[in-house]
Chains A and B, each alone.
Chain A
Amino acid sequence: MTTEEQLTTSIELGQLIGRVEKFKKEGYRLVQVNCTKIGEVYEINYSFDKDFVFRNLRITVTGETEVPSISGMYWGAFVYENEMHDLFGIQVKGMNIDFKGNFIRTSIRYPFGAAIPKGEQP
């Protein structure tokens, strides 16, 4: 078994832009951004990689918090941020390409975010 060392750093929302910028300067590439709903809060992971060294930044936000976009540093981040918005209902501020909820069109609004009312389940 080849265990990969994965360092996860939990940071404050305000530090996010600064830390991502540092990664960008050091030449890391953006692997993925993902969101996990844990109870009432959302955990957002930003993963970076450089020469197979995996680093992970984590912020924890509530549903109402506006998250700043990192698409200024990583142009390609718009796919993840739009996805996060469309599936979880996280508001992302300042995306370079903002689809306004039309990137992934779902029949139920924010399907992974708010609990789905029982009657609407297929």
Chain B
Amino acid sequence: MAFFEMAKTALRTVLSRPATIRYPFEPAKKTLLTRGHVTIDESKCISCGTCQRKCPAQAILLNKEEKTWQIDRLRCVVCNSCIDTCPVKCLFMDTQYTAPVVSRGVDIITITYVKPVKAADKGEAQG
């Protein structure tokens, strides 16, 4: 049986600096690999739709006609699946968490990728 087993730890904690971060005055912890939110390089996306098919939460919707890529941030579970499967590596993981929101909604991004035209019919395309 021991008494005051905790005293040493308690004393040291009183005298040392707090273990917590004073968020939001100090930024929250982040690491290089932290999964925050998915971003897209809209100039590289070839609209193949792999990310949409491989999304376990069905958060991504790709519209081929209107050339938009949309993501429901509240559905997204930030699992990295789309980034791993993207054939042209146009998706990235940002380490910053998304800001809090008060209503549901989707982020719509217009894809600006233009299919490179072959050298032979280049003149035709320009004309």
| Touch A–B, Cβ below 8 Å | no
Q: Which residues of B contact A (CB under 8 A)?
A: none
Residues on A close to B: CB < 8 A?
Answer: none
